[in-house]
Amino acid sequence: MRIGILGGTLDPIHNGHIEIALAAMDVLGLDGVALMPSGDPPHKPRATDKRDRLEMAKLAAAEHPGLYVSDVEIARRGVTYTVDTLSALSVERPDVQWTYIIGADTLNTLDSWREFPRVARLCDFAVINRPGCDVELAKLRACAIEACYGTRVALLPVSGPALSSTKIRRRVAAGEDISGEVPAPVAAYIRDRGLYLCDYSEAQILDKLKGMITERRYAHTLGVADTAVRLAPKCGVDVHRARLAGLLHDCAKSMPLDQMRALVAESLPDLDAAELETRQILHAPAGMILARDMFGVRDPSILSAIRKHTVGAGDMSPMDALIYVSDFIEPGREPFPGLEKARRLAEKDIYQAMLCCAELTAKHLRAHGQDIHPRTLNLISAFSPE
């Protein structure tokens, strides 16, 4: 029996992976191909949780006879190496001849794999051409590996499609459609789980925030995120994006003022003097930049909501309004006149609640002889009933 192995992080598995597996099975006459998500890859410390990657692989394989999913690397603790995987498989299935499917670009570093001479005794290789790879050079490299290590390296007369898991993750983060790039059940899983919205898991985000903001601000942040998630369905906003915006809205709050000024001055051409001089306002544009550059947030709706959560604007989207209001009414806020009214309105209409919050802010500033930011006045003007 001959079974192929298509390994890697599969983060996420996409249509290209499936096409490669099916092509290898057809050309080489394999009895099947095991899709094998890696556990803790040594070269990719930020890979998505292995349980999510395993589940996506299962969803992708379910529609194709001959494809199945192996959890042998997912189940192993610690760093995953191919030699360990093949050793375990050869003991578990001594009747199988294993064929490891790789891209042509991997040929250049193949014999640098851990204990490669042993790997070469445990499997042979099927090589898929990659866009941009030199086919003649790949043939020479394959012959050299065969001659040196005694394993078979078959170059398949097919090319892998120009799809990339990295690009797919970036497209998800930017809020773009990936329906033509991954199987439909995988796209649904990514959406339902809120995967790939930034470069970190929520646990990693929370850990980083604990080192960036005060304990009191951290508690406020959780309150805003929870409020945003609760209200998001009422606003037609994705709950995962709402939570991420809530978690990061105050990420720059504890930065020294001079650092915030330097950060935003070089990054935001539309920065105004009031934003630059006032910490209570400046942390919003600074937070947007940190969310983008430190946390890898690319969705314009999330970045906009972080930027606008202090002073607002005349063109507030549902996401903008949601974070603006959630910041104002979160459960940890000390009671003040008008707060309960804003909370009641938020349960019915996020825009009415937003207008209420803006008017309460303006009233407070006037009472203390402080200027009202022009964008707050624009918000009030744009959303007040005629």
Residue 332 CA, distance from chain mean position: 29
End-to-end Cα distance, the chain: 76
Q: What are phi and psi of 69, to 5 degrees?
A: -115, 135
How do 2-8 and 32-37 pair as beta strands?
parallel
- pLDDT per residue over 363-384, tens digit each? 999 999 998 999 999 999 999 9
Instruction: For residue 34, give every residue at least 6 positions away whose Cβ sits within 8 Å of its Cβ, in sequence order, or none.
Output: 3, 4, 5, 6, 68, 69, 70
Share of the chain above pLDDT 90, in %: 80
Read off the pTM.
Answer: 0.86
Phi-psi domain of 87 (left: phi exceeds 0; alpha: psi -120 through 50; beta: other):
alpha
Domain boundaries, the chain: 2-192, 199-383
**47 neighbors 73 (Cβ within 8 angstroms):** no
144-181 pLDDT tens trace: 999 999 999 999 887 777 789 999 999 999 999 999 99
Provide φ and ψ at 97, rounded to 5°.
Answer: -100, 120
Q: Which residues contact 230 (CB under 8 A, 6 or more apart)?
A: none
Residue 131 has pLDDT above 60, yes or no: yes
Residue 129, φ and ψ in degrees, nearest 5: -70, 145
pLDDT value of position 45: 53
Class for domain 199-383, per CATH? mainly alpha
Residue 252 has pLDDT above 70, yes or no: yes
Higher pLDDT, residue 204 or 272: 204
CA atoms of 7 and 386, how far apart (whole Å): 61
pLDDT of residue 278: 79
Residue 41 predicted with pLDDT over 60: no
Least Cα distance to 186 among 175, 178, 174 occurs for 178
Mean pLDDT of the region 108-123: 94
Query: 2-192 architecture in CATH?
Result: 3-Layer(aba) Sandwich (3.40)
Mean pLDDT for the chain? Answer: 93
Residue 42: predicted pLDDT: 55
**Residue 232 confidence (pLDDT) above 60:** yes
The first and second tokens of residue 53, run together, are 């990657």
Q: Is the per-residue pLDDT at 62 higher than 70? A: yes
Q: Is the pLDDT of residue 267 over 90?
A: no
Give the Cα separation of 3 and 325 in Å (integer): 56
In this prediction, residues 4-17 reach a mean pLDDT of 94
Name 307's Cβ contacts closer than 8 Å, sequence gap at least 6.
Answer: 284, 285, 287, 288
**293-329 residue pLDDT tens:** 999 999 999 999 999 999 999 999 999 999 999 999 9
162 exposed, middle or buried (CB, 10 Å; 0-12, 13-18, 19+)? exposed
8 Å CB contact between 285 and 349: no
